[in-house]
Every structure is written in C-alpha cells, then in structure tokens.
Structure 1
Amino acid sequence: MLDEMSRSVERLQGSARARASLWKAFYFALSFGFVASSVPALASPTWVDAPDGAFQGKIDTTGTMREFLGMRYAQPVIGNLRWKAPQPVLPSVATQDATQFGNHCPQTATIAGNASLTEDCLFLNVFTPNGSERDSDGGGTHPVMVWIHGGSLVFSESNEFNPIKLVQRGVVVAIINYRLGALGFLAHSALTGESSDRTSGNYGIEDQQAALKWVRRNIRAFGGNPEKVTLFGESAGGASTLINMASPKARGLFHRAIVESGGYMASQPTLAQAEATGSKFANAVGCNQANPAGVLACLRNQTVSTILANQALLYVGFGPVPNVDGKILTQSFWAALASGQFNRMPLMNGSNHDEGNIFVALDFDLSAGPVTSSTYAAAIGGTISNPAAAPLVATHYQVPAQFPSFDLGVGAVGTDAVFACPARFADELASPFVPTFAYEFNDEKAPQSFLPPVAFSYGATHAAELQYLFQFPNPSGFGLNLPQVPLDVNQQKLSDRMVGYWTEFATSGNPNGHGQPVWPRFHRDHEAMLSLAEPSPTSETNFAKVHQCDFWDTLTGRTLPPNEDHDRRADNH
C-alpha cells in the first residue's frame, strides 16, 4: 500500500512539476518581454526548482552561502500519523518560502535545545555555496554532507548549526530534524499490530531515512551530487549514523560516514524488549485498555506535554534507543560491523579525550555537589552499564594516584567506558571491511559554551569539537545564553585543519590531501589514530593504553571475531 502511495505521489509530482514549470517559463517570458525568443531567462540564485517543488531561499550575511530553510521532507506527523512511518510530502505548484527555519521536534528546554510542543517538525535545511556549481573533482556538482544532530535522541534541533565553514570548502550541507524521545522511539505491541511491517519504535530513524531520500531526489537542484553523500553526526547523531550503516533500508542513500562520539549505544534491544518497555510508558499515561484499538486511541489522544513528562521511562542510559525490529535493523550495529553485513563505505570515527567531564559537571557539581571519597563508587555505578562492578572500577581508577580529584576520576570512567573504548572497538570491527580513519579530539583548552565553570577543567569534553566545525552565532536553550568564547589563533588553525579533513573525506572518501598532516588509516594490528590537537594534528598509537581499553574489553566481555585476510576486503568495499 505504501509503495503504491509513493508511486502515486511521484506521478503527481511529475505532473504538478510539469505544470509549474510551464507557468514559470511563461511568467519569465512575459516579464522579460520575449515570448518568442529562444534565450532562456535567468532565475534568481536563491530560487530553486527541484523535483519536490520550487523553493525561495536567501543569501547569508557573508554573501558566500545560499540558505534554503524549513523545507518539509515528510507530511506532518500529527493526529493519526503520530507513531507511524513518515509519509511522502504532497506536491505543490506554488513556490515555497524557504527563508525561515521550520519547527523543531517536541522536547523540554535543555542546555542544547529550546522547548517545543509542536509535532509538525519534519523539516530540513540546505546550505550551498553561492558561486560556481562545479566541485573540486570536476564532476559538475558538490559533495553533499547530511548532518544528524545529537542530544541523546531526546533534544536539540537543526537550526543550532551554521555550516558556513564546511560550505566555504565547496560542499552542500543538509541539516535535518527528526522525531525524538517517546514520539520517535516508542515501541508497543498495539503499534506493532497496526503496522503493515509488524514493527514499531524506530520512527526517528525512519525520519532520517526519509530525509536522505528527499536529499537523493532533490539535492542536484541545489548543486549537490546525490551519488556523493556523506552522513555525519555527533553523539546520538553519530549513533544514528552507525544505525543507518547497519540498516538495510538505508542502502544506497549515502556513501561515506563520519561518526563523532557515537559509539556509546553499544547494543540495541529486540522489538519484544522494546515493546515491554513501551508498555510501562503506556501504563504510566493511563493507556492500559484491554484491546489494542483502545490503547492506540488513548496514546494518540495524549498531549505532547504528558508524553514528554513520562518519556524517561523509555531511556536506556542517556535516552531511548532504536530496536532490532527486523526491518530498520536486522541486528545490532556492532553485530553488523562484526559480520560485515552492513552498508560498506569509508568510515571516519572518533571520540573526545575527556568526554565524561561535562556529564560529571551536570550530574554532580552543578546539582548535587562534587563527587567525594564517600560517593565515588556510587557515582561510578551510575556511570557504567554494570553498577555491580563499581567497586572494582574504583580500585582501578585511583584517586589521587591517577586522578587529582574524584570528579575527574568519574569523568575518566565515563570517557573510557562509554565513549573511547566502544569507539575503538567499532574501528576494530569495521576496519577489515572498509577504509577506516580513527581520531581523538584532544584540545584540552577547548572553550566550554554550554555550562558555567566548575572546580575542574572540562578539557576536550563531549561536544567540544562541534565549534571547530560549525559556527554558533545565535546559541539558544537555557544553558546556551552564556558568553561565547571565540577560538584563539591556534584553535582556529585546528578548526581549519578539521574542516579540511571532513570536507576532503566527503569528496573522496579519504581525509588526506591538500598538504594536511597525514591521517593514517586504522588497522587492527597497527591502531594508529589522528590526534586533533592545536595547532596541528599528529598521529597517536597509545589510545587503547591511555583509555584502559583492555580493562574495559575484559570487564564487558567484548571480543573480536577472527581477523581473516586482514584489511584486504577493506580495499574493495
């Protein structure tokens, strides 16, 4: 049924676009007074005629970038479409205003996002160079980078990211919204039962894939190459990138992947497990009717405020997680990487040296107070997936022998257990199959613009690298009204290097080139990474030792599959 709907929409789009093109041609001919002339009229650089419609954008304040904002990539997920797969946008012959951001998806106010109660939020923004339409490899169009924002699959929005640094290097950037929290990741047997695919709970991932399909259909009209798409994201956006690499439904929708601090979502529950968790949420909001139809009606009648107030019942760690539903995911992404059964493409993957420090500040120093000797083991227990192992971990991360404070000890545990060693394990799994480039962001003096100062240095903490890739000229959210500290001269040099690596990878699938310091490829038997430190990156080979990854691999039972014909397959991905 959905396939037939999609074909119907495509037919409507074709006829609607044809009529629209005729009217536009007639309008321009009348306007310039040469109906009979064969000379084509020149459209404005901020007006684009794409397969899904015509869009009127604007030039940014620097004059170097065209912005097309708030473009709808799926129908509003309201009413009966709540907790359903995103539906195709109906075509329109009218030019759509693309000069303002669209709504962002429902969430409470956080340090990195504004509150919203609006479910009509499936919009994306496209940013493209204001100049030549030829890219650096002479293919006639620019490489495309599609950004998935982080926020634990609970908060943040597309309009927090200004990609001008990337666009000025000759790429087209698309930044998307997608459903978050319970609205994006609630699984329930009643929802599964009404689905033609007998699945539920992966709506946010389906939104991301719908946005990628929109990009594939339309991006050429914006100067982008649909055959050269890089999916990239940070934190939950990085985890989403890995999920899409493992998803059969995303095959062919992108061709390179960049994962920033996204390895934390180690495994995904089964659909049955997710449904059981979803039942607890449904019961909490009073939707425990005896029949599935009653449950569905009750759930869809809940206010967004009620849903947001109860969605923490779905959290696994930082937030909700996708599930292995047999459609979007047929296995967890670690299992997919281990078996080679994933969408094979060049991979850039990394983490930050002090990921955990920002969470220590949030959970302790800025709320309950600093971690002390008496609360150290409990704080570790709240950080790792196996709280029973906290006493063992506390003896392994000694204060003050290894760390000057209990805060920094907990921060190191969070860094190593949740981000650094899982990222390195993903590199080990993927590298025999695809070219893999691993990094660690290491600027210990990176500005902290999300939280006020605390007793310890944030260092190269979670999300600290974002300001080196994006500008944040208008930060928002209740934690984002702090004075924004600009990058100093050496940090700006590091930013330039990073933007160069990211955009070169989007162009060629290899970050090296243009006189940059060499970024070594990662191999299991020689685990070289790039240390992104100011003013110039260097290679490092002691990452596993610094972050005690052997300890964490043993504690969690992580083991690598046999490394047969090591890395030869990676050259033929």
Structure 2
Amino acid sequence: MFGGKIACIQRQQQAAQQQSARPRSWLRGTLCPALLLGIAFALAAPADRSLAASTLVAAPDGTFQGKLDTTGTVRQFLGVRYAQPVTLNLRWKPPQPVTPSAVTQDATQFGNHCPQAFTPFGNASLTEDCLFLNVYTPNKGGDRESDRDDGRPVMVWIHGGALAVGESNEFDATKLVARGVVVVTINYRLGALGFLAHPALTGESPDHISGNYGFEDQQAALKWVRRNIGAFGGNPEKVTVFGESAGGLSTFVNLVSPTAKGLFHRAIVESGGYMLTQPTLAQAEAAGTKFANAVGCHQPNPADVLTCLRALTVSTVLGVSSFGPAPNVDGKVLTQSIAAALGSGDFNRVPLINGSNHDEWNLFVALDLDLTGHPATAATYPAVIAATLAIPPGSPAVAAVQAQYPGGSFPSYDQAVGALGTDAIFACTARFADELASEFVPTFAYEFNDENAPQNFLPAVSFRYGAAHAAEIQYIFPFASPSGLGLNLPQTPLNGNQQQLSDKMVGYWTEFAESGNPNGNDSPHWPRFHRERQVMQSLVPPTPATETNFATTHSCAFWDQLTGRTLPPGNDHDHTADND
C-alpha cells in the first residue's frame, strides 16, 4: 500500500552528483587489534564527569575529538564510523565491525551520507562509505542528569525517506539535549544497496538470508551505542530508538527483530505503521531478480551474478527506479511480520509511543498529483484510488472506497484522496498496531493535529497541507532547512503557540526516554492506550489534550473490514492494575 511514496520519490530523482569525501587525518597504526582494544579500554576507564564534559572523549572503539556547537551548550561528535566501509566485496553483506584505533579520530565534521539521488528529502550522494553516526550530548552541568553516575538517557534517531533517501545530519538535537538526554543520529544503507534480496546473495550468506542490510546497519549502530555511549555521558541501559516514516517502520522492525534484543529499552514510532505485513524472502528475491535482470546481471552461474552486481556503478544501481526497498521476513532479522509479532507478543517488549499525523497523505497528493500538474478530478478519481491503495482498477474495493469517500463531498478531489490515503495507509494501521502492542507493553498513542504546521519540504499547492506527513519532525528537531543543500525553500518558523506545543512534545519524548512514561515536565497527562479503552493524546497547539474519537474520525471500522484486519483474542492481563 505504500508504493505511492516510493514512486513519487523516484519521480523526483535527478542525476546524482558525487559527494566529495570529507578530509580525514586518520593514521593507520601498526599495533595489533588486540593491543589497540586494550589501549582504548584503558583510555576509557576514567569516565569521570570532567572527561565526560570534554570534547576529547576516549571510548572502547577509540578516542574522538569533537567540538562544541555555536551555543556552547552541546558537545558534538560528528562523522563517527560505526562499521567498515561497505564497498567492493562488502557490498550486499552484513556490516563489519570497526577496528579500535589508538589514533585520535576527527569527529568535527559530518561523514558521507548513503547513496541516493537528489530529492526534496535528501541530497545526492554516490559514496558507499557512509556508515557514520553523530553524537550530541550536554556540555556538562546545570541539568537534572549532570550528577548521575549511571549516565543520561540515550535517544537514537533513524531518519525517514522510504528506505530510499535521507541522511542523519539534518536534525538539530539542541532541544532534546537541553532536556538532559544524549542524542545519536545514524546513516544506514538505502535503496537497492540496502535492501536488495537475490537468490545468489542468499546462497552466499552463512545465514541463508539477504535483503535486510539497512536494518543490520541500524543494529550495528545500536551495538556501537551500547559499547561506547557511556564515555559520552549516556546510559547504555536506557536507550530509546525512535524514527519517522521509514525510520518509524525501522523502529517497528527493530522492535520485533530477534537480533535487536537487548539493544534498546523504549521505542517511539512516528508515522511508521504503514507496512505491518512484510513480504517473504522468496518474494523479495523475486523482486531482486527483476532488478538484476534490469541491469544485465542474469548469468546462469550465481557466482557470476554476484560479480556482475558488485561491479555495477552506484549510478547504475540508483538508476533502476522500479525497485522498491522494503523489509523481508528472512528468518533471522525478521522471523515474522510486524503485525504477527505484535499480535503474538513475540517481540522485544519495551514501552512504546506510536502515532500518526491527521493529514498524512496530503504530502503525497501534492507530490503525485498537484505538483505534477495532474490533480484528481471526478473522471480520474477511481483510478487515483486504485493507484493510492495499490489495488486493481475496477475492483469492488475501489467502488467501496468511492462510496465511503465520495469525492464531491470534499472541497476538492485531491482532498478526498488525502483523506482516504491518510486513513487507509497511516491512521488505521497505526491504531491497529496500538491495539496489538498494548496487550503486552505500556503503549502511548498520539495524533499530531496542528492543521497549520509549516510545510517546509514542498511549495504551496491548491489545498492546505495541514498536519501532513513529516510535519511533526520540526517540533522535535528544529531545523533551518529540512533538505540541507537540497531544495532550500524559504522556511516558516513555528509561531508562539506552535513553540509551546514543541516544548510539550520534547518534554513527552524525553520523559519517555527517562522512564518509559511520557508524563512529567508539567505537560498535560497522557493516558495509556488500551484496546478496550482507546484514548490517544492529540498533539494540538498550544496544549495537547486527550481524544477518544480517532477511530470514528478516520473510518477505521471500514478499513478493518475492507482489509480483513482482525485482532487476536485479548490476553488475560489485568488492565485495572495499570497506572493510566
């Protein structure tokens, strides 16, 4: 159902230009890895507060020279390598650990971001050496965490972008860090380079899997955090993984992945519930075979196919616009689909915040219809419904949706498409995930509801964007330009009421990182979500409030029936004992 996003991003792609690698002064030592590891641990041992407040930090994986931000309140450690470069023979293989170095590493500039074409949501890159992360931590003293011996809560951000575009360096962590948390933002492999499955790749794998390389990257970054974050003032036993869109989907994948067990302790999903059922490995391999055929890698010998694939230029890989990256149930990283795992309770049981935006699909209506010069009309409405929901034109489902969302009852047909796309792809799937997860873990559900949220990714269109997809990010991460060197649109700052909402949201997110419960920081009470008592927090400016009509507003009963979505029986958990 989410093919629309991938398609619209692919239509936005332009010729990628190679991003020049940042200068590095890393010297190659001649000491053996074991001795280097011992030196690194010895350097990291005196983890007192004076060391933690320095921009020179010794950690198990090495010594890193960072810098202060322009305000002097945040220490930044940028472009930290968490895995070996995935180039040459390491392309389409699991990430390999870095070797600790005795040489101080420059962590004052961002690293390369992963290969992608230019879009409004990411900047062009052809550099496969891209597995870097960034650490943002308070510059000592004055906050509630400064005297703690166990370290501050850690929040690891996974960027969105349909698993095809995006980068870690666009997100200003200042507001989060000001609340006493350590923030880590990460890159991971994207597109076909991160998610290509193929029988030849599966055949060479010791685990007989392929395709989930981007998620393995994310887990490698989480392992780096677990090993090293204590040296930066963070608590490795209090890690929150959070992300938006494909980053939210990634958070769900890690939530249910056996190989992510123990790597994090809370999860926040922003607009990531759009794909709760994943293809099988065989299905992913079939899609990968089509990709290989498209680039001429269809030799009868699997070894020759692999040689051909690894000889492709990055530009050639990016040029296959028909490939849609997605998780697959490979039997290791994912042993079952997200919905199945949440429904059975067979997942990493940590507290969960999960939510969606009130007008999610308006962003894609703008990209697919208005900005292409082809807004929906009465004549094209049925075909647009079919394309939005990835169902055959003329099927009974199209007629059912058209009856539920009569285009003439909306101000425009584009807005009708926005409403049905929001409800089908984001709102009701997020609610379904809440219903499943809340039987097993503390679950806090939200809807982002600022109808006047600034739209800083795309130009104005014929309708108001409202609380569109990605609109909530700027309330957590202030940024001057969401596209970095990309689109560079004039930016609309948050007004006073929106700043108040931003403060409340940052308070919720950081309190959750601390305790697994968002309540505190003088914000309005946010009740837990229960299957039989569906209360959500409406994130509306200036002050959030509870809402109980989400399912009705978004026609979730209709979508549950149309998709055949049903809940498993409730467990015997005593909800009356919950502190809500």
Q: If the length of structure 1 is used for normalisation, what is the TM-score?
A: 0.91
2:407 alignment partner, one of 385, 399, 410: 399
Which residue type is aligned with residue 223 of structure 2? K
1:186 alignment partner, one of 193, 196, 215: 196
CA deviation digits over 1:381-431, x for unaligned, max 9? 111133432222112101332x21101000011100000000000000000
The 1-side partners of 2:353 and 2:284 are apart by 30
Aligned to 1:114: 123
1:325 alignment partner, one of 312, 325, 330: 330
Aligned to 1:520: 527
Q: Within the alignment, does 1:349 sit opposite 2:358 as a pair?
A: no
Q: 1:567 to 1:363 in 2, by over 3 A?
A: farther
Aligned to 2:154: 144
Q: Within the alignment, does 1:422 sit opposite 2:435 as a pair?
A: no
Question: Which residues of 2 match residues 152-163 of structure 1 at below 5 A?
Answer: 152-163=162-173
Question: Which residues of 2 match residues 332-343 of structure 1 at below 5 A?
Answer: 332-343=337-348
CA deviation digits over 1:494-525, x for unaligned, max 9? 00000000000000000001321010100011
The 1-side partners of 2:253 and 2:68 are apart by 34
Whether the aligned pair in 2 keeps the contact of 1:71 and 1:102 (CA below 8 Å) is yes
Whether the aligned pair in 2 keeps the contact of 1:123 and 1:176 (CA below 8 Å) is yes
2:379 alignment partner, one of 360, 374, 378: 374
3-state SS in 2 of match to 1:146: strand
Question: Which residues of 2 match residues 351-500 of structure 1 at below 5 A?
Answer: 351-387=356-392, 388=395, 389-401=397-409, 403-476=410-483, 480-500=487-507
The 2-side partners of 1:222 and 1:398 are apart by 55
Deviation at 1:565, TM superposition (A): 1.2
Aligned to 1:30: none
Whether the aligned pair in 1 keeps the contact of 2:40 and 2:58 (CA below 8 Å) is no
Q: Within the alignment, does 1:219 sit opposite 2:226 as a pair?
A: no
3-state SS in 1 of match to 2:235: strand
Aligned to 2:558: 551
Which residue type is aligned with residue 449 of structure 2? N
Deviation at 1:139, TM superposition (A): 4.9
Aligned to 1:272: 282
Deviation at 1:324, TM superposition (A): 0.5
Whether the aligned pair in 2 keeps the contact of 1:432 and 1:570 (CA below 8 Å) is no
Q: 1:322 to 1:543 in 2, by over 3 A?
A: same
1:82 alignment partner, one of 88, 91, 94: 91
The 2-side partners of 1:137 and 1:324 are apart by 44
Whether the aligned pair in 1 keeps the contact of 2:175 and 2:506 (CA below 8 Å) is yes
Whether the aligned pair in 1 keeps the contact of 2:497 and 2:541 (CA below 8 Å) is yes
Whether the aligned pair in 2 keeps the contact of 1:110 and 1:477 (CA below 8 Å) is no
1:92 alignment partner, one of 101, 104, 114: 101
1:53 alignment partner, one of 62, 65, 68: 62
Which residue type is aligned with residue 393 of structure 1? V
Which residue type is aligned with residue 162 of structure 1? D
Which residue type is aligned with residue 463 of structure 1? A
Deviation at 1:131, TM superposition (A): 1.1
3-state SS in 1 of match to 2:377: coil
Deviation at 1:314, TM superposition (A): 2.7
Q: 1:41 to 1:276 in 2, by over 3 A?
A: closer
Aligned to 2:262: 252
The 2-side partners of 1:544 and 1:171 are apart by 34
CA deviation digits over 1:88-145, x for unaligned, max 9? 1012110000000000000000111000000000000000001138628945410000
Whether the aligned pair in 1 keeps the contact of 2:52 and 2:140 (CA below 8 Å) is no
The 2-side partners of 1:82 and 1:405 are apart by 47
Deviation at 1:44, TM superposition (A): 7.0
The 1-side partners of 2:443 and 2:350 are apart by 9
Whether the aligned pair in 2 keeps the contact of 1:447 and 1:485 (CA below 8 Å) is yes
Number of paired residues? 543
Q: 1:571 to 1:197 in 2, by over 3 A?
A: farther
Q: 1:419 to 1:271 in 2, by over 3 A?
A: same
3-state SS in 2 of match to 1:564: coil
Q: Within the alignment, does 1:173 sit opposite 2:193 as a pair?
A: no
CA deviation digits over 1:188-239, x for unaligned, max 9? 0100011110100000000000000000000000000000000000000000
3-state SS in 1 of match to 2:185: strand
3-state SS in 1 of match to 2:408: coil
The 2-side partners of 1:169 and 1:438 are apart by 22
- Any gaps of 5 or more consecutive residues in structure 2? 1-30
Whether the aligned pair in 2 keeps the contact of 1:134 and 1:140 (CA below 8 Å) is no
Q: 1:419 to 1:521 in 2, by over 3 A?
A: same
The 2-side partners of 1:15 and 1:571 are apart by 51
The 2-side partners of 1:413 and 1:166 are apart by 34
1:229 alignment partner, one of 239, 242, 250: 239
1:511 alignment partner, one of 496, 512, 518: 518
The 1-side partners of 2:147 and 2:549 are apart by 35
CA deviation digits over 1:265-289, x for unaligned, max 9? 1211111111111000000000000
Q: RMSD across aligned C-alpha pairs, in angstroms?
A: 2.2
1:16 alignment partner, one of 33, 36, 52: 36
Q: 1:332 to 1:571 in 2, by over 3 A?
A: farther
- Any gaps of 5 or more consecutive residues in structure 1? 1-10, 26-39
Q: 1:488 to 1:255 in 2, by over 3 A?
A: same
Deviation at 1:566, TM superposition (A): 4.2
Whether the aligned pair in 2 keeps the contact of 1:84 and 1:203 (CA below 8 Å) is yes
Which residue type is aligned with residue 357 of structure 2? N
Deviation at 1:85, TM superposition (A): 0.2
The 1-side partners of 2:380 and 2:462 are apart by 17
Q: 1:24 to 1:314 in 2, by over 3 A?
A: closer
The 2-side partners of 1:438 and 1:495 are apart by 17
Whether the aligned pair in 2 keeps the contact of 1:450 and 1:479 (CA below 8 Å) is no
Q: 1:135 to 1:570 in 2, by over 3 A?
A: farther
3-state SS in 1 of match to 2:319: helix
Aligned to 2:10: none
Q: 1:44 to 1:534 in 2, by over 3 A?
A: closer
Q: 1:571 to 1:292 in 2, by over 3 A?
A: farther
Deviation at 1:564, TM superposition (A): 2.5
Q: Which piece of structure 1 moves more, 86-95 or 492-501?
A: 86-95
Q: Which piece of structure 1 moves more, 508-517 or 217-226?
A: 508-517
Deviation at 1:475, TM superposition (A): 4.0
Whether the aligned pair in 2 keeps the contact of 1:449 and 1:480 (CA below 8 Å) is no
Deviation at 1:155, TM superposition (A): 0.1
Whether the aligned pair in 2 keeps the contact of 1:48 and 1:55 (CA below 8 Å) is yes
Deviation at 1:18, TM superposition (A): 3.8
Whether the aligned pair in 1 keeps the contact of 2:243 and 2:270 (CA below 8 Å) is yes
Deviation at 1:473, TM superposition (A): 2.5
Q: If the length of structure 2 is used for normalisation, what is the TM-score?
A: 0.90
Aligned to 2:24: none
Q: 1:272 to 1:463 in 2, by over 3 A?
A: same
Q: Within the alignment, does 1:209 sit opposite 2:197 as a pair?
A: no
3-state SS in 1 of match to 2:388: coil
